[in-house]
């Protein structure tokens, strides 16, 4: 067993993402624990935590696509775009909607979008968190950002609630999807429920819960750090190459020019993350001795 690697956690509704990190820190006695993407307190589902020196791999996990199951409630708009906020507008126009109208509104949320983050979000504007500005009654001045919705499926339709499953790029706000669907339908809407089902190839069904956390249970569930970068290109090299990389030198790599980081392995263990340039690998991060 080891306290270095990737941990899949099934976050329940209620605690913050930082609460989950603190629980794991106490359970394994390791200070270096970090999440790779937050979930709002009202949401549940999969969180990927990096433990020990694997926290240096968090940036590669964060960018993985996410899959969610969510419930959009039509007829009420809230200031947070979810059920935790105050209702700022309400109507019953949803009673006259047809399923075709709902599907059309969902269709508009597929593909490459310019999405405006919620006012109550952790986005920074001029050095301040948007939610700090919003809580004081100000306008955060957020700008739309490019996101991609790879798949959006209507799973259930029992108005005023619409249940969807969505696969999207990192950085996509499902609260904004709910808000924009409500705007398109003229009813207003907010996100009533949210559960993250997958991050990349990792599934919540394989995650450990927080209902019965013990040190042994958590440590046994930690996966090797190699799994955190399994989606990257891989270079299998020898111990000599490892020594060169650890001293900041490049090594030969016969692939030629590449794009994106490369996970460097020696005898199946991750030893570095490197950048491919003109047939060579240049070290970005080196792990171990």
Residues 6+ apart with CB under 8 A from 208: 7, 8, 9, 10, 217, 218, 221
Tens of pLDDT, residue by residue over 186-245, are: 999 999 999 999 999 999 999 999 877 778 888 899 999 999 999 999 999 998 988 999
Tens of pLDDT, residue by residue over 44-70, are: 999 999 999 999 999 999 999 999 999
**DSSP per-residue codes, 106-124:** HHTTSEEEEEPPPSSSS-E
- For 68-95, b/e burial (b = at least 16 CB within 10 A) is bbbbbbbbbbbbbbbbebeeeeeeeebe
Tens of pLDDT, residue by residue over 175-201, are: 999 999 999 999 999 999 999 999 999
Report which of 111, 118, 87 is spatially closest to residue 180, judged by C-alpha positions.
118
Q: What is the mean pLDDT of the chain?
A: 92
Rounded to an integer, what distance in angstroms lies between the CA atom of residue 191 and that of residue 22?
A: 27
Tens of pLDDT, residue by residue over 131-151, are: 776 787 777 777 889 999 999
Tens of pLDDT, residue by residue over 4-45, are: 999 999 999 999 999 999 999 998 899 999 999 899 999 999
Report which of 119, 84, 118, 86 is spatially closest to residue 13, judged by C-alpha positions.
84
Residues 6+ apart with CB under 8 A from 132: none
**Percentage, residues of the chain above pLDDT 70:** 97
For the chain, residues classed under CATH 3.30.2350.10 are 5-63+204-226, 66-199
Report which of 224, 232, 239, 223 is spatially closest to residue 284, judged by C-alpha positions.
232
Tens of pLDDT, residue by residue over 69-96, are: 999 999 999 999 999 999 999 999 999 9
Query: What integer pLDDT is reported at residue 206 of this predicted model?
Result: 96
Query: Domain 5-63+204-226 belongs to what architecture?
Result: 2-Layer Sandwich (3.30)
Domain 66-199: homologous superfamily in CATH = Pseudouridine synthase (3.30.2350.10)
- What's the rounded mean pLDDT across residues 153-169? 97
Rounded to an integer, what distance in angstroms lies between the CA atom of residue 7 and that of residue 51?
A: 7
The verdict on whether 40 is a catalytic residue reads: yes
Residue spans of alpha helices (H) in the chain = 17-28, 58-62, 99-107, 130-135, 174-185, 215-221, 239-246
Q: Hey, CA dihedral for 15, 60, 67, 269, is it positive or negative?
A: negative
Choice among 10, 40, 82, 180 that is catalytic: 40
Dihedrals phi, psi of 123, to nearest 5 degrees: -60, 140
Give the angle 283-286-289 at the CA atoms, nearest 5°: 135
For the chain, residues classed under CATH 2.30.130.10 are 232-286
Query: What integer pLDDT is reported at residue 64 of this predicted model?
Result: 96
Q: Is the pLDDT of residue 155 over 80?
A: yes
Residues 6+ apart with CB under 8 A from 121: 130, 131, 142, 173
Q: What number of residues does the chain have?
A: 289
Q: Take residue 68 and report the two structure tokens written for it.
A: 């969610």
Rounded to an integer, what distance in angstroms lies between the CA atom of residue 268 and that of residue 274?
A: 16
Which fold would CATH assign to domain 232-286?
Answer: 2.30.130
């Amino acid at each position: 067993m080891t306290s270095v690697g990737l941990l899949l956690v099934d976050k329940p509704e209620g605690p913050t993402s930082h609460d989950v990190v603190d629980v794991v820190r106490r359970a394994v006695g390791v200070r270096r624990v970090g999440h790779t993407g937050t979930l709002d307190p009202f949401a549940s589902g999969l969180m990927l935590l990096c433990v020990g020196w694997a926290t240096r791999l968090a940036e590669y996990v964060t960018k993985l696509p996410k899959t969610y199951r969510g419930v959009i409630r039509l007829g009420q708009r809230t200031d947070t775009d979810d059920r935790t906020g105050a209702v700022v507008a309400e109507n019953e126009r949803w009673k006259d909607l047809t399923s075709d109208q709902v599907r059309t509104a969902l269709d508009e949320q597929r593909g490459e979008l310019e999405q405006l983050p919620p006012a109550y979000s952790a986005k920074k504007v001029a050095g301040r968190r948007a939610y700090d500005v919003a809580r004081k009654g100000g306008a955060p001045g957020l700008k739309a950002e490019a996101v991609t919705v790879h798949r959006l499926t209507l799973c259930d339709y029992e108005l005023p609630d619409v249940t969807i499953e969505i696969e999207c790029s990192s950085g996509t706000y499902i609260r904004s999807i709910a808000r924009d669907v409500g705007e398109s339908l003229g009813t207003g809407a907010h996100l009533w429920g949210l559960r993250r089902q997958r991050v990349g190839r990792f599934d919540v069904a394989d995650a450990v819960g927080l209902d019965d956390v013990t040190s042994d249970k958590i440590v046994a569930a930690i996966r090797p750090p190699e799994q955190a970068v399994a989606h990257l290109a891989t270079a299998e090299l020898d111990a000599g190459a490892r020594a060169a990389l650890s001293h900041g030198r490049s090594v030969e790599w016969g692939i030629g020019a590449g794009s994106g980081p490369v996970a460097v392995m020696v005898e199946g263990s991750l030893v570095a993350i490197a950048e491919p340039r003109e047939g060579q690998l240049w070290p970005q991060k080196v792990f171990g001795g």
